[in-house]
Structure formats: structure tokens, C-alpha cells
Amino acid sequence: MTDQLFYFLQVASTFSVALPLCIGLWKFNKADLAVKAFIFFLMLGFATDLAGWYLYLSKDGTSNLYVRHIYDLIESVFLFWFLSWVSPSQLVNKFFMWSIAILIPFWALRFLYLDAMGVYMSAVQVFVAFGAWFSLIQMVETKREVAEQLV
């Protein structure tokens, strides 16, 4: 992969959130609290990407790492909170709310054991994917007209 293509993919990746963010900000006043929280999360992710891009170009790798590490914690806490809030399942709600307390020490382990960094992100992604899948299945099952259209 050429450097120019790699740079283009980085720029495209950073700005891929621009259209959903613009639409969300346009409809922000009419949105419910869950949507407003998600829009804020998109803005924070966009700001983190822009900061990382700036810090990379200014060759400030240490600050870039700090920004990324803090964002990893914010992202996982937000996603766990968001799933606990929007899921129709009491089981999912309780699991993710209680799991938030475990996230912070688990996140901090990455600074003591470098191998824990990948394990932390993988575990968070697996739990978020499973929680989102389980929640979506329950939402579809409670709305039969949606389920019938899929079949």
C-alpha cells in the first residue's frame, strides 16, 4: 500500500463520521436523551481522531498515546452505559451497569502488563457485540411487524 493511499484512508476514516454527526446535530433538539448522548459520543470520537491526527503530524507520540488511552476508557464506559440504558432486557441492563465498575481496574491493567491492552479491547468489543445483538433480537421479537418483514 502506498503512503498516499494509506493517508487517504486515514482521512476518509476520520471524516466518515461527518455526515451522521451533521444529521444528528441538525435533529438534536428533537432527539431523545439516548440519541443526544450518542451524538455527543460521536463528537467526542471525532475530536479524538482529529487530536490524534494533529499529534501524529506534530510528532507528539506520547500525547497521542495519552489521548488514545483515555478515549479507550471513555468509549468502553459509554458503550456499556448506553447498552444498559437502551436495552429492553433487564439482564443486559444489570450486566452492563455492574460491569462498568470492573472496566476501570481492567483498563488500568494495560499499563502494568502491555499484553493486557489487546485483551481489554477484545473483551470490550465481544461484550458490546453480544449485548447489542441480544438487545436487537429482543427489540425485534417484541415488534412482530418488523420480524415479519424480515422473513
Residue 149 has pLDDT above 70, yes or no: no
Nearest-10 crossing angle of helices 90-112, 116-142:
170
**Residue tagged 484512508 (cell numbers):** 9
For the stretch 66-76, pLDDT in tens is 898 899 999 99
Nearest to 138 by CA among 91, 78, 81: 91
Average pLDDT, the chain: 86
Report d(CA 27, CA 39) in Å as an integer: 10
Cell of 48: 479524538
Report pLDDT digits (tens) over 25-60.
898 888 888 889 999 999 999 999 999 888 888 998
